[in-house]
Amino acid sequence: MKEVINLPVKNIEEEEYHINMGPQHPSTHGVLRLVVSLQGEIVKSLKPHCGYIHRGIEKMCEKDTYPQIIHLTDRMDYLSAHINNHAVCLLVENALEVEVPERVKYIRTIIDELNRIASHQLWWCSFGMDMGGLTCYFYGLRDREKILDIFEESFGSRLLHSYYTPGGLMMDIHPNFQANVKAFIKYFRKKIKDYDDLLTGNVIMQLRTKGVGILSREDAISYGVTGPSGRASGFACDVRKHHPYGVYDKVDFKEIMGTKGDTFERYMMRMNEMHESMKIIEQLIDNIPAGDYSAKMKAVIKLPAGEYYQRVEASRGELGVYCISDGNKTPYRMKFRSPNFSNLSALDHISRGVKIADLVAIGGSLDYVIPDIDR
């Protein structure tokens, strides 16, 4: 007679199971692998696995001279390449106590803000796409193209510019730069209304984001969530405001703050920041002082031995550069405190108990860029 084996009958609804989201998932925006533990549709916990695009940038910095490091920082958060470059340039300039010309500061501030707008536009595209609105993607990219054209005309490249050098800029801005930027601001003021009509006011989007993925102020601080995501929770962390660099202390702009800390608030932060960035650019674009586009620097830059730290506000949060120099022309150690890595660490905390579909929206609202996480 055949023996009957009684397998234990599991209750599917109560059982926890794990699925891999990524590394090749369209909504992780890159090669990020999230091991999601699910019960039915509810996310129980989540483990991000990083390192798929680790290139050892920090280690590579140790063999590069300071001007050479600039081009590596482009490749961390490639959507705010100029701002990353700015961080290293400021570090070197402050360590050597070089006074950069006023013109350079103005140009750098304008370009940083343009870069921030371009980055937020791309975030808006992909956030809309995560929520199922593919139309957003086309409209957002269309407007971002205008900024990329300005970049291409002025610096020759569209994404990875390496335009700043310690002490100044690679070359002066293009003669058309100011006119182009002004034309863009005029154009984008009109088009940003489309963004609100298409996505911000959309009921489906609002229902899916309001009250979902709440990050409290205390948690934002303890996880180190900075940038628009941190400010949505009421954590005043805008480096531009609290530790001004460039000419941010001379311009009038609001630090956009939220209170609720949910996905929708994080969305609104970035939408409002685009308006603020345009305000900053408008105040500066006509007042760029004449002068040199670079300070006189030695051919071989050597930082005095010691430790240096510099932070800037990248489009996703606070980017910190920590450098130990032993007096040589290459740093002894270079460490980047990348905003995306800290922001990602909060993902597990805020997505516990939400539906798996909302996880995509939360991830979109944190706006992580994977090469910046892995470096």
Partner 1 sequence: MNSIFEYFADIFHTVKSLLTGMKVTGRYFFSPGEIVTQQYPENRKTLKMYDRFKGEVIMPHNDHNEHRCTGCGICETACPNGTIEIIQARIDMPDGKKKRIIDKHIYHLGMCTFCGLCIKACPSDALAWGQEFEHAVFDRSKLTKTLNQPGSSIIKDIVE
* Candidate segments 19-27, 46-54, 197-205, 281-289, binder of partner 1 by CB under 8 A: 197-205
Closest-CA residue to 73 (of 252, 303, 319): 319
Q: Does 142 bind partner 1 (CB under 8 A)?
A: yes
Question: 301 near 96, Cβ under 8 Å?
Answer: yes
* Candidate segments 168-176, 179-187, 230-238, 281-289, binder of partner 1 by CB under 8 A: 168-176
Binding mask 111-140 for partner 1 (x = CB under 8 A): ------------------------x---x-
Candidate list 51, 201, 289, 327; residue touching partner 1; CB under 8 A: 201
| Shortest distance, position 162 Cβ to partner 1, whole Å | 4
Angle between helices 177-195 and 263-285 (to 10 degrees): 150
Positive or negative torsion for Cα 154, 159, 162, 164: positive
CA 301 to chain CA mean position, Å: 29
Q: Does 50 bind partner 1 (CB under 8 A)?
A: no
Q: Does 302 bind partner 1 (CB under 8 A)?
A: no
Distance CA 90, CA 140 (A): 31
* Candidate segments 69-77, 238-246, 312-320, 364-372, binder of partner 1 by CB under 8 A: 69-77
Q: Does 199 bind partner 1 (CB under 8 A)?
A: yes
Residue 145: strand pairing partners: none
* Candidate segments 102-110, 158-166, 258-266, 362-370, binder of partner 1 by CB under 8 A: 158-166
Q: Which residues contact 242 (CB under 8 A, 6 or more apart)?
A: 236
| Shortest distance, position 259 Cβ to partner 1, whole Å | 23
Residue 11, burial from CB neighbour count under 10 angstroms (0-12, 13-18, 19+): exposed
Neighbours of 121 (CB within 10 A): 26
Candidate list 32, 34, 38, 70; residue touching partner 1; CB under 8 A: 70
Q: Does 328 bind partner 1 (CB under 8 A)?
A: no
What's the CA angle centered on 206, arms 204 and 212, to 5 degrees?
Answer: 115
Q: Does 295 bind partner 1 (CB under 8 A)?
A: no
Question: 199 near 128, Cβ under 8 Å?
Answer: yes
Candidate list 115, 165, 263, 338; residue touching partner 1; CB under 8 A: 165
Q: Does 203 bind partner 1 (CB under 8 A)?
A: yes
Distance CA 351, CA 214 (A): 8
Distance CA 164, CA 152 (A): 15
End-to-end CA distance of the chain: 63
Q: Does 62 bind partner 1 (CB under 8 A)?
A: no
Six-digit token pair at 367?
């706006």
Q: Does 185 bind partner 1 (CB under 8 A)?
A: no
Question: 170 near 162, Cβ under 8 Å?
Answer: yes
In the bound state with partner 1, the residue whose beta carbon lies nearer, of 53 and 160, is 160
Q: Does 84 bind partner 1 (CB under 8 A)?
A: no
| Shortest distance, position 286 Cβ to partner 1, whole Å | 23
Q: Does 198 bind partner 1 (CB under 8 A)?
A: yes
Q: Does 72 bind partner 1 (CB under 8 A)?
A: yes
Residues that bind partner 1 (CB under 8 A): 64, 67-68, 70-72, 135, 139, 142, 145, 152-157, 160, 162, 165, 170-171, 174, 194, 197-199, 201-204
